[in-house]
Amino acid sequence: MTITIKTLEEMKKRGEKVALLTAYDYPTAVLEDKMGVEIIVVGDSFGMTVMGQDSTLFVTMNEMLVSARAVRQGVKNAMVIADMPYMSFQPSNSLAIKNAGRFIQEAGADGVKIEGMPKRAKAIVSVGVPVMGHIGLLPQSIKKLGEYKVQGKTEQDAERIIEQAKELDEAGVFSIIAESIPGELTKRIKESVQVPIYGIGAGPDCDGQILVVNDLLGLYSTFAPKFVKKYANLTPIIEKAFEDYIKEVKEGKFPDDAHSYH
């Protein structure tokens, strides 16, 4: 079944949780879609998980477009949301609209995600592009924040985050990602807005959950926040495959007869 904004609204009404994951390439997208992930976010975490950078700040529009196109190719049912990279939307409404349009037109995305900035969200929504908001910990603001840490712990900060969620709701976003905030704050946000709240480190009371796929698969260990749960540990499996291959090449055992042409 193709997932649309209407599907998500109905799921929220029924109290049915949405499963989201990030993906950056075709083979991962195929498997996520096949197994029933409802929303695939082509996250700018790409910069860290795929490019090995220490933040998301170096990711470019062109890199994100390639990644989003690859993901789109692998997806039949899920909604594909492209994460707008640093400085692709912050400077002005017109730049935000232009780049959001590129994700739809050039990559075939179903919508875009931006961090914070309700005014930019409103501008993008106004040209008919679905927008997913993002509140709480905003990784593109790492230079200002200084470190990746839980947000909304003081009452003042909690109120600021609730206010931003309300503004995004009014701007017309179809959902909001809440990252690294206390579960109690998530409950207050849910009481304040209509749109679904999908959490990453925001406790169990969200309308759905998202994880970075490399974290879930045990393929990224540089930085692992408390909320990460490894559902598999692929690193030793891949290491073993590489080890066996190298050994067989060195020993002249690969290719054997079964893997050679005659």
Of the candidate residues 12, 40, 43, 167, the single one contacting ligand KIV (CB under 6 A): 43
Q: Tell me how far, at minimum, the Cβ of 45 lies from ligand KIV, in Å.
A: 3
44 versus 169: smaller Cβ distance to ligand KIV: 44
Q: Which of 61, 212, 217, 220 binds ligand KIV (CB under 6 A)?
A: 212
Angstrom distance (rounded) from CA 137 to CA 182: 11
- Residue that has been written with the tokens 């009481």 in this structure: 191
Q: How many helices, marked H, and strands, marked E, lie in the chain?
A: 11, 8
Total Cβ atoms within 10 A of residue 65: 20
C-alpha 28/C-alpha 5 separation (Å) is 23
Selecting among 38, 115, 167, 179, the annotated active-site residue is 179
Return the HEC string of 176-221: EEEECCCHHHHHHHHHHCCCCEEEECCCCCCCEEEECHHHHCCCCC
User: Which of 83, 167, 169, 215 is the binder for ligand KIV (CB under 6 A)?
Assistant: 83
* C-alpha to C-alpha distance for 38 and 59, rounded to whole angstroms: 25
Residue 168 engages ligand KIV in binding (rule: CB under 6 A)? no
Strands 111-113 and 208-211: unpaired
Tokens of 135: 């509140």
Nearer to ligand KIV, 50 or 254 (CB): 50
Indicate the residue among 41 and 171 with the shorter CB distance to ligand KIV.
41
64 makes contact with ligand KIV (CB under 6 A): no
Q: Among residue numbers 191 through 210, which ones bind ligand KIV (CB under 6 A)?
A: 200, 210
Contacts for 228 with CB less than 8 Å, ≥ 6 apart:
211, 212, 215, 216
Residue with smallest beta-carbon separation from ligand KIV: 43
Interface with ligand KIV (CB under 6 A), residue from 65, 112, 177, 178 = 177
Active site residue 179: yes
- 83/167 with CB nearer ligand KIV: 83
Q: Which stretch binds ligand KIV (CB under 6 A): 41-49, 63-71, 155-163, 239-247?
A: 41-49
- Residues near ligand KIV, by CB under 6 A: 22, 41, 43-45, 83, 177, 179, 200, 210, 212
Q: Return the active site residues.
A: 179
